[in-house]
Amino acid sequence: MTSNTTATLFSEGFSAVRSFAKTTADDIGALTPTVLKTETLAGLTVALALVPEAVAFAFVAGVHPLVGLYAAFIVGLITALIGGRPGMISGATGALAVVMVELVHTHGVEYLFATVVLMGLIQLTAGALRWGKFIRMVPYPVMLGFVNGLAIVIGLAQLEQFRVPTEDGGHAWMQGTQLVWTLGLVALTMLIIWGMPKVTKIIPAPLAGIGIVAAIVIGFGIDVPRVGDLASIEGGLPMFHIPQVPFGLETLGIILPYAVILAAIGLIESLLTLNLVGEIKGEKGGASQECAAQGAANLVTGFFGGMGGCAMIGQSMINVKSGGRTRLSGTMAALFLLVFIVFASGPIEAIPLAALVGVMFMVVLGTFAWKSLQILARVPKSDALVILIVTVVTVLEDLAVAVLVGVIVSALVFAWKQATKMSVANVTEDENGKTYEVEGPLFFGSTTSFSDLFDPKGDPKNVTIDFARARVADHSGLAAIDALAFKYNAEGKDLKLRHLSPDCQRLLTTAGQLIEPAEDDPQYGIATDYGIRIGRTDTGH
């Protein structure tokens, strides 16, 4: 590592520490007794909602429930303390769990822990290099598709709570009285969450819904599935544990592909959640700090027997809508979760799953961008298509693939639209020759349209092309100008170019001698000059 790179990493580290210190100081200064109560209760609500999610995702990954719960605690705590957006909640997620299945099945859980450590290092690097800023490249239609797709995924995940174990070791859908009771309790929870804010805001509505429904079920002994039916959450404190894998290139070859995929999915979901929470709270920035926080959290988690994690949009929405705005709510959520594991597993295991399902269904209703359905008919068809594609791919595949597909489709649509804007705004012809006034962006997508605008064979002896209303955007555009100049030259005709920027004039070769400099030439750069001159040989001619 060079001294410059080391200095950059230290600089970024100090910057993150200063940002964390400032935000923490602001949070502490804002903690009045009322805010303290609200933040604590919001954290308790989130912790209760985290339990079944962490257990379920541990089952998906094929590991012990405590592996998911420890990840929810450690990742949640560290990101709450140093993450890029106070109020965000992180933990074990389904998007990561589905990638871990094959690794755990083929190589065992110790390789998973090693992979999570490497995943954390990759994310830390992304934070140090400030790669979080590239999340701004995700178009708004992709964001809408992401939100809608994730809302559907969260909703579908709750349907598993309507399945009960069978005598043969399998699972079957609930039937009869148990199904009626469960549906009724889910509906009651949702009704309480909807109506409680109209009565009082002393207690977060989701917490009130869970508490009231749990009291009814426990008090009347209603036979419905409880948290304890998923698995026991009783355990001790997470212990430091170096992954028991051979240290060598063979192990690296096994875990590296999984680590890269997990790191990418984790950062994408975290940064999109960061943007969503930022819109609700009216905050900006923090992307690179969130990358570093996720990396630190996963690095530590891998050494303490956790399955890794990332930001959770569902729990983040529960927290924000319950009044959680500072780092305290996320911190309390993680600490409450640890208390559940170590001291209070019994009472938590008695909570009916129907209450937690009701909370998550309300999250689904609040997360889904219902306005996107209204605007589908009004926005450009290409944007509507992107929204639908990202939504469907998120549900059928995973978030990372959906966002990648959405960005690619959006980029292709944008390039196509820009390519069709290259045109001739005006043509004048007199005794001095013919002048084309072109307009639009000249880049790789519009070079064919640009070439088709001219007629080297049919044009008169003297031809001028005025670029005052156009802009050359890349080296493909320069190559197109050079190619056109060569065609006119082959026909024995004089071509002059006007109003090209100095950067264009410097980079052009064949057409470089045809430029007519003027005081009103535009000033802009051409992509990145890599020291290459179009059409030049090693001799420079």
Q: Distance (Å, rounded) from C-alpha 412 to C-alpha 139?
A: 12
Q: What is the pLDDT of residue 14?
A: 52
- Ranking 96-105, 132-141, 318-327, 339-348 by mean pLDDT, the lowest is 132-141
pLDDT digits (tens, 9 = 90+) for 481-500: 989 999 999 999 999 988 88
Q: What is the pLDDT of residue 526?
A: 59
**Residues making up the chain, counted from first to last:** 541
**CA-wise closest residue to 410 among 388, 437, 426, 394:** 388
**Residue 167 to residues 56, 178, 526, Cα–Cα distance (Å):** 21, 17, 70
26 pLDDT higher than 80: no
Distance of CA 75 to the CA centre of its chain: 17
Q: Distance (Å, rounded) from C-alpha 305 to C-alpha 238?
A: 7
User: Where in 245-299 does DSSP place strands (E)?
Assistant: none
**CATH 3.40.1010.10 applies to domain 420-516:** no
- Ranking 252-261, 317-326, 416-425, 462-471 by mean pLDDT, the lowest is 416-425
Q: What is the pLDDT of residue 525?
A: 60
State residue 528 phi and psi, 5-degree precision.
-125, 125
pLDDT digits (tens, 9 = 90+) for 371-422: 888 888 888 888 999 999 999 998 888 777 888 899 999 988 888 888 888 8
Q: What is the pLDDT of residue 529?
A: 39
536 pLDDT higher than 50: no
pLDDT digits (tens, 9 = 90+) for 176-213: 999 999 999 999 999 999 999 999 888 899 999 999 99
- Amino acid in position 202: I
Q: What is the pLDDT of residue 532?
A: 32
Q: What is the pLDDT of residue 473?
A: 84
Q: Read off the pLDDT band of 295 (50, 70, 90).
A: very high
Sign of CA dihedral 165, 229, 352, 73: negative
Q: Distance (Å, rounded) from C-alpha 495 to C-alpha 410?
A: 37
State residue 282 phi and psi, 5-degree precision.
70, 35
CB 421, CB 471: distance < 8 Å: no
130 pLDDT higher than 60: yes
**CA-wise closest residue to 325 among 36, 77, 71, 73:** 36
7 pLDDT higher than 90: no
What letter does residue 322 receive in the DSSP assignment? T
Domain ranges for the chain: 26-380, 420-516
Q: What is the pLDDT of residue 160?
A: 87
% of the chain beyond a pLDDT of 70:
89
Over residues 523-530, mean pLDDT: 51
Q: What is the pLDDT of residue 11?
A: 53
248 pLDDT higher than 70: yes
Q: What is the pLDDT of residue 528?
A: 41
Mean pLDDT, all residues of the chain:
87
pLDDT digits (tens, 9 = 90+) for 332-380: 999 999 999 999 999 999 999 999 999 999 989 988 989 888 888 888 8
User: Where in 279-393 does DSSP place strands (E)?
Assistant: 310-311
426 pLDDT higher than 80: yes
Q: Distance (Å, rounded) from C-alpha 322 to C-alpha 313?
A: 14
Q: Read off the pLDDT band of 27 (50, 70, 90).
A: low
13 pLDDT higher than 60: no
What number of CA atoms fall less than 13 Å from residue 205's CA on the CB side? 24
Q: What is the pLDDT of residue 17?
A: 52
Q: Distance (Å, rounded) from C-alpha 130 to C-alpha 5?
A: 13
Number of H helices, E strands in the chain: 21, 9
Sign of CA dihedral 295, 16, 74, 80: negative
Q: What is the pLDDT of residue 523?
A: 67
CB 63, CB 109: distance < 8 Å: yes
- Residue 533's SS3 state is coil
Q: Distance from first CA to last CA of the chain, Å, rounded? A: 40
Q: What is the pLDDT of residue 60?
A: 85
- Residue 529's SS3 state is coil
Residue 445 tokens, joined: 């997508």
9 pLDDT higher than 60: no
